């Protein structure tokens, strides 16, 4: 494994020769979307650069919906915004932007305007949109900051019941797998932001009893990506247990009487337990040739 997410050449060729995006998709919404060719290139950037770290959408489903005209324009705008963070600068210049910041801000505002118009009524689609919009970091002091959008996605997921076990549910297997994948990706991001920004977590572990991720929860991604997300979820759970040691809530914060060495030993135990069950290809010696494995270890550091 060379660390590069797998790309099916036949699929890539088929996508490049697929029918043009329907006029219905392009013309819907308050503002004009980029040209069909630019939309495809931005979509490609989204799935090549963002999707491996966060496969919250199903690529085949998105591409199929785009080409038959059924893809939500609100969701499409949100995808284009995230793509602008990762695509080549020359593509943004071809769209008339002089800088990446200008492109991100413009595409975010268009996506937000579309989101706020209430033209989209499907809750799952709105969850995806709110999640993607949280990657905007243009105005941290804004009321609707990054955490506001992520919180909206999490609350929507909770309202749908994604945080609860579906072991005894009669829901179809594909729905259960999809919801489990979505929930854990929200959980991972919640923990990542809490660690990096020193913010309280949005998800309370005591409210959740959803089952652990399985490889079958990822229908159209490479094996390496599946393993990476599963390990990120396990790492996030370990981080949550460590957070609990320092929570300011009553009865949870260490007192002066608690031995500091004991706390450090507990933290070490949590990480050692995670590492002991780490996917073999992500063990440090093996991950030197694995891009996602190296990123996983950077997260721990």
Q: Write out pLDDT tens, residues 19-73.
A: 345 555 555 543 579 999 999 999 999 999 999 989 999 999 999 999 899 999 9
**Whole-number Å distance between alpha carbons of 284 and 263:** 25
Query: Any alpha helices (H) in 165-288, and if so which ranges?
Result: 173-197, 223-245, 260-276
Task: Please count the helices (runs of H) and the strands (runs of E) in the chain.
Answer: 13, 0
| pLDDT score of 196 | 82
Residue 97 near residue 103 (C-beta atoms within 8 A): yes
Going from N- to C-terminal start, the domains of the chain cover 1-120
Q: Is 113's pLDDT higher than 70?
A: yes
Average pLDDT over the chain reads: 81
Give the mean pLDDT of 210-226.
91
How many percent of the chain have pLDDT more than 90?
52
Residue 120 Ramachandran class (φ > 0 left, ψ -120 to 50 alpha, else beta): beta
Weakest-pLDDT range from 154-158, 174-178, 281-285, 295-299: 295-299
Of 11 and 72, which is predicted with more confidence? 72
Give the mean model confidence (pLDDT) for residues 168-194. Answer: 94
Residue 213 has a CB neighbour count (10 Å cut-off) of: 23
pLDDT band, very low/low/confident/very high, at 7 (cuts 50, 70, 90)? very low
Instruction: Look up residue 200 and give its two tokens.
Output: 């309280």
C-alpha distance from residue 105 to each of 110, 112, 298 (Å): 9, 10, 29
231 vs 101: CA distance, rounded Å: 32
Per DSSP (E only), the strands in the chain are none
pLDDT attached to residue 141: 75
Check: pTM over 0.85? Answer yes or no: no
Contacts (Cβ under 8 Å, ≥6 apart) of 47: 59
User: CA distances (Å), 279 to each of 51, 226, 230, 268, 288, in order?
Assistant: 20, 11, 9, 19, 14
Whole-number Cα distances in Å, 134 to 147, 161, 283: 7, 21, 31
Summarize pLDDT for 237-266 with one digit per residue, the tens. 888 877 776 667 665 555 554 565 665 667
């Amino acid at each position: 494994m060379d660390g590069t997410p797998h790309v099916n050449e036949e699929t890539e060729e088929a996508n490049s020769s697929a029918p043009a995006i329907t006029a219905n998709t392009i013309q819907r919404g308050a503002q004009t979307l980029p040209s069909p060719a630019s939309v495809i290139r931005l979509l490609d950037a989204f799935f090549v650069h963002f999707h491996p770290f966060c496969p919250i959408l199903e690529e085949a489903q998105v591409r199929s919906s785009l080409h038959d005209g059924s893809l939500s324009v609100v969701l499409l705008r949100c995808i284009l915004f995230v793509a602008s963070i990762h695509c080549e600068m020359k593509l943004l210049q071809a769209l008339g932007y002089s800088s990446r910041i200008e492109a991100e801000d413009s595409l975010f505002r268009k996506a937000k305007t579309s989101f706020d118009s209430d033209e989209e009524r499907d809750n799952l689609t709105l969850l995806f949109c709110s999640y993607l919009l949280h990657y905007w970091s243009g105005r941290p002091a804004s009321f609707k900051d990054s955490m506001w959008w992520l919180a909206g996605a999490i609350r929507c997921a909770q309202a749908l019941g994604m945080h609860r076990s579906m072991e005894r549910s009669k829901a179809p297997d594909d729905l259960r797998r999809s919801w489990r994948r979505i929930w854990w990706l929200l959980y991972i991001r919640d923990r990542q932001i809490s660690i990096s920004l020193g913010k309280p977590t949005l998800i309370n572990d005591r409210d959740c009893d959803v089952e652990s991720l399985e490889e079958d929860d990822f229908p159209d991604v490479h094996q390496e990506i599946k393993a990476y997300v599963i390990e990120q979820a396990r790492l996030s759970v370990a981080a949550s247990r460590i957070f609990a040691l320092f929570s300011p809530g009553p009865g949870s914060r260490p007192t002066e009487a608690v031995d500091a060495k004991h706390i450090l030993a507990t933290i070490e135990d949590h990480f050692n337990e995670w590492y002991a069950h780490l996917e073999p290809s992500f063990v440090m010696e093996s991950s030197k040739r694995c891009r996602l494995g190296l990123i996983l270890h950077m997260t721990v550091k």
